[in-house]
Amino acid sequence: MDNNNQLLKDAKLCTRWAFSLTFVFIILFPGIMFITGYEYSLAFFKGWTYLAFTWLIIAGLYTAIRPWVEYYVEKKQA
Amino acid sequence: MLSSTTGYLILLIFGVFFTGLTIIMQKRRKEKMTAEQFSTAGRSVGIGLASASIIAAWTWAATLMMSSSTGFKYGISGPYWYAAGACIQVLLFAIVAIHLKRKAPMAHTFLEFVGKRFDKKNHKLMMGFALMTNIIVTAMVILGGAIALNSLTGMNIYAAAFLIPLTFTIYTMIGGLKASFIADYLNTVMIFVILTIFATVVYVKFGVDTVYEGLKAIPEQNQMLTMASIPGLFFGMINIIGNFGTVFVDQSYWQRAIASKDSAASKAYIYGGIAWFSIPFAIATFMGVSAAGLGLNIGDPDASAPLMAQHLLGSAGSILFLVMLFMAVMSTGAAELTAITNIIVTDIYRKSINPKASGQQTLKISRIVTLSFGLAMGLLSVLLFKVGIGLSFVYMAMGIFVSGAVIPLTLGLMWKKATSTGNFYGALTGMISGIIVWLITAQVRYGGISVASLGELHSMLFGNVTVFVVSGFIAIGHGLISNQEFDFDSLKNQFHSFDAEQEDTEAKVTKESESKDVLVNG
C-alpha cells in the first residue's frame, strides 16, 4: 500500500475515533447526567475517584513506556 | 510557606539541568544541526514521543491551577468539564493533522499551507491570529508559573515572570524542536508521577468518605455533587469553544504533526488526547474538589491546588507542586517558543525578507528569534501583572480573540469549496463581532465595562459563541455561493525542505563555476 493510501486509511480511522470520543465526552455522558439531574451517592463518588486514579496511572504508564519501546524496536530494526 | 530562595533554586536547577541535557545530546549527535532539523526534528518522531509532547504542550500552568479552581468552585462537574472540554480539540485536531500530512507533506508551518492555498491577505491575517495565540498562551503560562512561585515561596512576582522564560529559552535556542520533545517527555512523566503521589495521599490521609461528607454538607445550591450544575455547564461551554482556538490556531500543535512520522501523526493526537484527559480530571478531583470537601479555607479558588498540596504534605507538598507546575510551564513555554520561531523564520524571514537564505543563515536567525522572543515574553508578562490582568481572565477571554480562525482554517484544509474571500472575512468578522458582543453583554448585563464584568461567565460565553457562529456562517456561506473548487493535488510539490533548498543552491553554484571553468579552459 503506498503512503497516500495509508494516510487516507489512517485519516478515516482517526476521524471515526475523534468524532466518537467527542460525542461520548461532551454530549452523551454529560447529557444523560445533566438531564437526569443525578446527585452522586457515596458509592458513585467513590467509583468516580477510582476512575480518575486508574485513568491517571494507565495514562502515565503509557506515556512513560511507549517511547522506550519504540526506541528499542527501531534500534533492533536498524 | 517556602523561602524565596527555594523559588530561585528551582528555576536555576531546572534551567541548568535541561540546558546541560540539551548540550550533551547535541554533542552525542553524529550529524550537524541544520535549519530543517531545528524546526521539524527531522520529521521522524514516533507515536510515543509525539503523544508525550502533545500532552506536555497542552498541560499548561492553567491546566493544573484553573482545573483545580473549577473543582473547588463547581464541584465534580468542574473537573469533568475542564478535562472533556479541552480534550476534544486535541482529538479532533488529529483529523486536520493528517490532512496536512497528505496535502502538504513538506510544509514547516500551517501558515505556509495557508499562503499557498489562499491569497496573501489570508496568509497575513492567519499569521496575526497565530502569533496572537502564541503570545497569549506563552503569557498565560508565565503568569501561572509566576503566581504559583510567588504564592508558595514569596519570590518576587516580577522577577519570577522574567526569569521563568529564561529557563526554557536557552535550551530551546540550542536544541530546537528535538530538545523540546525530549524535555516534554521528561516533564510529562514527572507530572504523572507527582500527581499520582498527591492522589494517593488524599486516599491514604483523608479517604473518599470524608471528602464526600464534606461536599454533602455544602449548601445544595452550590451543586457540588451533581453534573447538573449550571455554572459548571457554562464553564464547560466556554472551555470547549475557547480551546478550539488555542489548539487549531497554535503552530505548536501543527509542529508536532509536522515533526511526526506519517504513520504517527494522527494516532499521537488520539492517544495523547485520551492520556491528557487524566491530568486535569485527576488534579481537579483530588486537589480542587477534595479541598472543597475538606473545608479548606481558601480565599482565591485559583490557589486551591497549591494550598491543597501544602495541606497534604506540608513543605514537601509545596515543593512537589512547584516542580510539577514548573515542568508544565517549561514544556509549554518551549513548545510556544519554537512555534513562534518557526512562524517568524518560515513565514516572514524566508518568505519576505530573505527568500534565498541558506540553511546556516536560517538556523542563525532561528536562534536569534528564539532568544529575543523568550526575553520579550518575560517583559510582557511583567506588564500584564502591572495592568492587573490575571490567569482566569486571560484563559476565558482568549477564545474570543483567536477562535475566529478555527473554522476558516479547517475548511481551507478539508473543503475544496472554501474561498479566500469567505475565509478572510469569516475570520475577521467573527473576531470583531465576538469582541462587540462580549463588550455589549458586559455593559448591559453587569452595568459597565471593566475587567470584572468582562470576566463574568455570561459575557465570556456570548462572546465566544458569537465568534464561532459568525466566522462559520460567512466562511461556509461564501464557499457555497461561489461554488469554486480547489485542486489540493496542485499543492503537493510546492513545499521544500530548507536543507534541500540549500543543497540545490550549492549544486547550482558548483555547476555554474564548472561551466565557467569549461568556458575559460576551452
* pLDDT surpassing 80 at residue B118: yes
Q: Taking all residues of chain B, what is their mean pLDDT, rounded to a whole number?
A: 87
Cross-chain Cβ contact B236/A26 below 8 Å: yes
pLDDT computed for residue B363 by the predictor = 84
Chain A partners within 8 Å of B79 (Cβ): 52
What's the average model confidence in pLDDT over B3-21?
A: 89
Cross-chain Cβ contact B192/A56 below 8 Å: yes
Tens of pLDDT, residue by residue over B186-211, are 999 999 999 999 999 999 999 999 99
Residues 29-58 of A with CB under 8 A from B: 30, 33-40, 42, 45-46, 48-49, 52-53, 55-58
Determine contact: A60 vs chain B, CB below 8 A: yes
* pLDDT surpassing 90 at residue A22: yes
SS (H, E, C) B342-353: HHHHHHHHHHHH
pLDDT computed for residue B423 by the predictor = 94
Tens of pLDDT, residue by residue over B415-448, are 999 999 999 999 999 999 999 999 999 999 988 8
CA B373 – CA B377 distance, rounded (Å): 6
**Residue type at B18?**
F
Chain A partners within 8 Å of B240 (Cβ): 26
ipTM over 0.90: yes
Chain B interface disruption, residue of A5, A8, A9, A10, most B CBs within 10 A: A10
Q: How far is CA A46 from CA A26, A41, B173, B251, in A?
A: 22, 9, 47, 40
Which of the residue ranges B119-133, B280-294, B339-353, B418-432 would you say has the lowest mean pLDDT? B339-353
* pLDDT surpassing 60 at residue B504: no
What's the average model confidence in pLDDT over B151-174?
A: 86
Confidence bin at B506 (pLDDT 50/70/90): low
Phi, psi of B495 (to 5 degrees): -115, 135
Contacts of B337 (CB under 8 A, 6+ apart): B138, B165, B168, B169, B172, B370, B373, B374, B377
* pLDDT surpassing 70 at residue B508: no
What's the average model confidence in pLDDT over B210-233?
A: 88
* pLDDT surpassing 50 at residue B488: yes
For chain B, state the CA radius of gyration: 24
Chain A interface disruption, residue of B200, B211, B278, B287, most A CBs within 10 A: B278
* pLDDT surpassing 50 at residue B119: yes
Determine contact: A27 vs chain B, CB below 8 A: no
* 8 A C-beta contact, residue A30 and residue B84: yes
What's the average model confidence in pLDDT over B357-380?
A: 86
pLDDT computed for residue B522 by the predictor = 44
